[in-house]
Structure 1
Amino acid sequence: MAEEETLPPLDPAGLGAYFALIEVSSLLRHTVEQQLLDAGDLSYVQFQLLATLGDAPDGSRRMTELADGVVYSRSGLTYQVGLLEKAGLVTRGPSADDDRGVTVSITEAGRDVLAKVFPGHIDVLRQLFLAPLARKDIESLARILTDVRDHMRTVPPRSAKPRRKSG
């Protein structure tokens, strides 16, 4: 309970920040999803997966790491990776570190799709999200959101939690 006592009260400013964040997030995601669909026939999650793999030094990540990074359920991730694999944008194979693990790797076709959607994606971010902000505001927002994200990441991700046993 000591931690709760140190938290600031949920006042109108806190609620206003929360509701503004929710609305900004929804508006931005809607526009980004439309751009990704139009430019590369990708869902938002599929783009996140490809971008994450594209940023990896060897173009590969374990399924568990992907689920943690994009905050997606194991079953949902398996389905999305299956769609990307069927489209030839990723491959799946056994993990070199763990016989039970699965590694996902981006293909050249996947990199090509990323290259195709990225310019429009950046344009959406610049025009819709960053345009009304001064440089110092962008830096402050980045710092604040990083602090919040890092705090939220202290809770174990869903993919690390034990599975419920079916009974």
Structure 2
Amino acid sequence: MTQTRWLDETEAAAWRAFLFTAHLLERRIEEQLKTEAGLTHPQYEILVRLSDEPDRRLRMTQLAREVVVTKSALTYQITQLEKAGLVERATCPSDDRGVLAVLTDDGMRCLERTAPGHVDVVREFLIDQLTPDELRTMTQALLKAQAVLRD
């Protein structure tokens, strides 16, 4: 049996700072999105991912991977977005079993209205608080952790 390597003071401080900051930022983002568009953060991320696609559509399995949610959680979010008229489902032309999530024109307009406020929150509470060097370091560190987590 391996011995647990407990966090030292520096490591624990880094972990707590990351965790607390992530929670606080997530809360601010949720407040902004709920107030401006009645969206949750996962719903907003779905709209963003779909808007990034040339035809504003993506297979549900790929979309779940990109927004880092389970297929059932994505299905729930897509159902909510469908009810709001922001997304619709379509059959994949190359595979009858595949389902596509498609961003509607109303969904695109909602995203265009909501994105400036979202960027303002991210910029005010994170991006503008860091120097360019700190941003590069943060990006490198988080991408390193992300690569391990995605394996």
TM-score, structure 2 normalization:
0.92
Q: How many angstroms apart in 2 are the aligned matches of 1:58 and 1:146?
A: 28
Q: Deviations over 1:106-129 (max 9, x none)?
A: 011111111111111111011111
1:60 maps to which of 54, 57, 61: 57
Q: State how 1:4-153 maps to structure 2 within 5 Å.
A: 10-153=7-150
More strand by share: 2
TM-score, normalised by the number of residues in structure 1: 0.83
Which stretches of structure 1, 4 residues or more, deviate above 3 A after TM superposition?
A: none
Percent identical residues: 36
Counterpart AA for 1:55: D
> Which structure 2 residue ranges, 5 or more long, are not aligned?
none
Return 66-75 or 37-46, whichever deviates more: 66-75
Gap regions ≥5 residues in structure 1 = 155-167
* SS of residue in 2 equivalent to 1:42: coil
- Give secondary structure in 1 for the equivalent of 2:129: coil
1:119-145 superposed Cα distances (whole Å, 9 cap, x missing partner): 111110111112221111111111211
Aligned residues: 150
| Partner Cα separation in structure 2 for residue 93 and residue 131 of structure 1 | 40
Q: Compute the displacement of 1:23 (Å).
A: 0.6
